[in-house]
Amino acid sequence: MTEKLVIIDTDCGIDDAQALMMALAAPNVQILGLTCVHGNTSVENVCQNVLRVLSVCEREGIPVFRGAAGPLIGASNPSSDHFGGDGLGDVIEDRDPQWEKKIQREHAASAMIRLVSENQKQVSLVALGPLTNLALAVRLDPGFPQKLRDLYIMGGNMEGKGNVTLCSEFNFAMDPESAYVVLEEYLCPTYIASWEYACRNPLTWEFFEELINQDFAAARFMKLITSKCWAYSKEAMKTKRDVYFGPGFVSYDSYAMAACIDSSVVTDSITCPVRVELQGALGRGMMVLDRINALKKNHCVTVMTTCDLVKFGRLLMESLRQPCKR
């Protein structure tokens, strides 16, 4: 199997951690760098969370870069408490006081540009958080997107059903301007795992129990960080997500990562132009699918709709059978 070069941009909460471990366990993936962005928690916490995941998986050699601490314009939005104040369920007590020394000095956006320029048309960029670092990268180097092999995004919504505002999904709502810039200016092949895609392709809670109770270091870590988090409570999620989509365990960011690792995980999709709404009082941050070509855009993206849950579940199971030394 041909090795894929990957950069992962993350606002490392619990589902990001799961997605990172999926990439770390994949034999066909070489991670060139991990770039950190605000989102689920502060960018400082994100950096520490990424370092923690790498430590659990014994992969500390992968460089980690600190990026944007807030959106492209305007004041910073308060971070979500969906995964706890620190992004990993508020259960980790032994924080590393030396963590800043382990972060690269280079800014995340500059690191993206450099790593991709050194490996043109070979790097897949996987964006799991707000798209601020990606917007900064294209502002610093307008030719950056055309140097990418492809782009995978977890974010956006297809039907105006929001999870933090009435009509928008969290990652896009946290920085609508950056989401707009990326979906207008990144003309490389682009694949989007929307909120609806994740929610409509859930796994069972019985699968989740089997997943976190494997006798491996990574599984024990995942069991710890989900232990007190309401987002991983079967009962709590009945009132939060089932209003629209029905019951089940959903590891949101893992859907985008799985598509990057194995494209056959995605069994159906929509290909069309998209645009992010910036002006609407209710719709700001909402992703609009242009299925009638009203926008007259030349660039289309692939919006995932259906997932092979057997293959997806297998990737999740393998992701927690770590450490996987290299």
Confidence of residue 88 (pLDDT cuts 50, 70, 90): very high
For residues 278 and 287, what is the distance between their CA atoms, to the nearest angstrom? Answer: 10
Classified by CATH at the fold level, domain 4-319 comes out as: Inosine-uridine Nucleoside N-ribohydrolase; Chain A (3.90.245)
- For the chain, give the percent of residues with pLDDT over 70: 94
pLDDT top residue among 90 and 122:
122
What's the token pair of residue 58? Answer: 């014994």
Q: Over the chain, what is the mean pLDDT? A: 92
Confidence of residue 249 (pLDDT cuts 50, 70, 90): very high
Verify cis geometry, omega within 30 degrees of 0, for the bond prior to 323.
Answer: yes
For residues 132 and 147, what is the distance between their CA atoms, to the nearest angstrom? Answer: 19
- The neighbouring-strand residues paired with 271 are 302
pLDDT value of position 281: 86
Q: Are 322 and 56 in contact (CB under 8 A)?
A: yes
Q: Is the pLDDT score of 267 beyond 60?
A: yes
> Do the strands 301-307 and 266-272 form a parallel or antiparallel pair, or are they unpaired?
antiparallel
- Angle ∠(35,37,40) on CA atoms, nearest 5: 125
CA distances from 243 to 158, 172, 199, 220, 225 (A): 16, 21, 11, 31, 26
Structure confidence by residue, pLDDT tens digits, 189-244: 999 999 999 999 999 999 999 999 999 999 999 999 999 887 787 766 555 555 55
Structure confidence by residue, pLDDT tens digits, 156-188: 999 988 888 889 999 999 999 999 999 999 999
**Mean pLDDT, rounded, for 296-305:** 96
CA distances from 251 to 33, 151, 176, 222, 225 (A): 22, 19, 23, 12, 13
Helices and strands (DSSP H and E) totals, the chain? 13, 10
pLDDT top residue among 87 and 315:
315
Confidence of residue 79 (pLDDT cuts 50, 70, 90): low
Supply the DSSP symbol for 15. H
The one catalytic residue among 11, 15, 16, 175? 11
- The neighbouring-strand residues paired with 269 are 304
**Whole-number CA gyration radius for the chain:** 18
Structure confidence by residue, pLDDT tens digits, 37-70: 999 999 999 999 999 999 999 999 999 999 999 9
Q: For this structure, is 11 an active site residue? A: yes
Residue 177: is it exposed, middle or buried by C-beta count within 10 angstroms (0-12/13-18/19+)? middle
* Percentage helix, strand, coil for the chain under 3-state DSSP, each rounded to 5: 40, 15, 45
Structure confidence by residue, pLDDT tens digits, 271-294: 999 999 999 888 999 999 999 989
Q: Is the pLDDT score of 6 beyond 80?
A: yes
Which residue type, as a one-letter code, is found at position 139?
A: R
How many other CB atoms sit within 10 Å of the CB of residue 78?
Answer: 7
